[in-house]
Amino acid sequence: MSLLFEPLKINQTTINNRICLPSMVIGGYSDETGMVSEKNIEHYQSFAKGGTGLIIQEATCPSTYGKVAEDQLGVWSDDHIPGLKKIADAVHAEGATILVQLCHAGVTAIEEETFCPSEYSCTKNDRFRKGTALTLEHIKKIQDDFVNAAVRIWKAGYDGIELHGAHRYLICQFLNPRVNKRTDEYGKQPTLFVIEIINRIREIVPDTFIIGIRLGAFEPTLADGIANAKALEKNGIDFLNISYGCTGEFDSYVPEDYPFKDVIYAAAEIKKNVSVPVFAVNGIKTPEMAEDILQITGVDMVNIGRSMLVNPNWANDAKASQDTGKCLVCRQCMWHKTPPKCPGRKILNRKLVRANKTPILN
């Protein structure tokens, strides 16, 4: 594991290794107020204890609307700062770096009235959504919400933020011309909406504050994704966490003989065009696969998602050449219903018991 456990510098922060816990929304820990609970604190502290270098906290809403879930964590009020600080302090005490992912859902939000860069309809979670085109005044209001949220995150002691510009959420909707049909400056320059947010945040927070983005690789094509990545690097982005873009509105591509998924291929291609750190994600389960991706693709960091839910100690176990366990990709995720009943975790716990080691309890 010659690369997986090498440090990585992002902006002026040195990450202990190349292992990232990506943002994964965990339902039931908060409520409609968006306040942090003890479960949230324990959840993120467990990954820090487990040796994860970089933790990206689940999608957190900067506005009172635009939520992805009713019980989504929030940062639309100063009242959220004390609870968020408890997460940041708990993670830092274990030596890990932590960011908050800021996410406004746009047309895919749970509210009855939703918004999009231009009029657009889609279906999400079996519900039809019709988004109203944003006015210039509304665009500025949402940008204000992002900027104010980032300042609160800085005040709470986090190392930075990740803007959610993928998975058919609002920033992603601006970046994809199949969704963004505006004829003004925000349509002619799809990255302008997020670039203005980045520039305004930079004017307030210290230079050391990390600003990265979860970016759609195919928006709608890989050439568009590369162009977006280059524009964002030019305007001060600190890292690019490459994922899928607007669901149903992109054309993916991967060579037939490529050993990894299309989105990992895209991350490798984007890395060839930028100098900032690039992350790869999707189906990375084992330390061996993670190391191979770093070695073959040239990307800088790997996201270990569901397998980290199975085993929060994944990074430490990988470093010690122990069995890390892995997600079994169940049709319906048992971890989100009852973590101890997760099949991947049950298998790993049986192995731990046989080896006279402490099983994972929650």
Rounded percentage of the chain residues whose pLDDT exceeds 70: 100
pLDDT at residue 141 in the model? 98
Query: Are 355 and 208 found together in one domain?
Result: no
Q: What is the pLDDT of residues 293-334, one digit of tens each?
A: 999 999 999 999 999 999 999 999 999 999 999 999 998 888
276 — phi, psi (to 5°)? Answer: -75, 160
Residues 337 and 266 in one domain: no
pLDDT value, residue 8: 98
Based on the residue annotation, tell me whether 169 is a catalytic residue of this protein: yes
Specify the 3-state DSSP secondary structure of 9: strand
Return d(Cα 106, Cα 116) in angstroms, integer.
5
When pLDDT is averaged across residues 246-259 and rounded to a whole number, the result is 96
Mean pLDDT, the chain, as a whole number? 96
**Could you tell me the CATH number of the domain that includes residue 302?**
3.20.20.70
- Examine residue 280 and state whether it is found in any structural domain, yes or no: yes
Split at pLDDT 50, 70, 90, the class of 73 is: very high
Is residue 1's pLDDT more than 80?
Answer: no
Tokens of 245: 């873009």
Which residue type is seen at 179? V
Residue 91 in 3-state DSSP?
helix
**Are 304 and 340 in a shared domain?**
no
Which of 169, 186, 244, 265 is labelled catalytic? 169
Give the pLDDT mean for 336-349.
Answer: 90
Contact 242, 278 (CB under 8 A): yes
Q: Note whether residue 281 is domain-resident.
A: yes
270 plus 171 within the same structural domain: yes
- Provide mean pLDDT across the span 255-279: 97
2, part of any domain? no
User: CB-based burial of residue 157 (10 Å sphere; 0-12 exposed, 13-18 middle, 19+ buried)?
Assistant: middle
Q: Indicate if 341 and 256 belong to the same structural domain.
A: no
Domain of 360?
A: 328-362
Please indicate, yes or no, whether residues 190 and 91 belong to a single structural domain of this protein: yes
Q: With beta carbons less than 8 A apart as the criterion, state whether 65 and 72 touch.
A: no
Pair (62, 193) in one structural domain: yes
Across the range 28-46, mean pLDDT stands at 96
Tell whether 313 is covered by a domain.
yes
Residue 339 preceded by cis peptide, ω within 30: no
What local confidence, expressed as pLDDT, does residue 337 receive?
79
Query: Do you find a cis peptide bond into 220, omega within 30 degrees of 0?
Result: yes
Q: Is residue 3 assigned to a domain?
A: no
**Shared domain check, 162 and 237:** yes
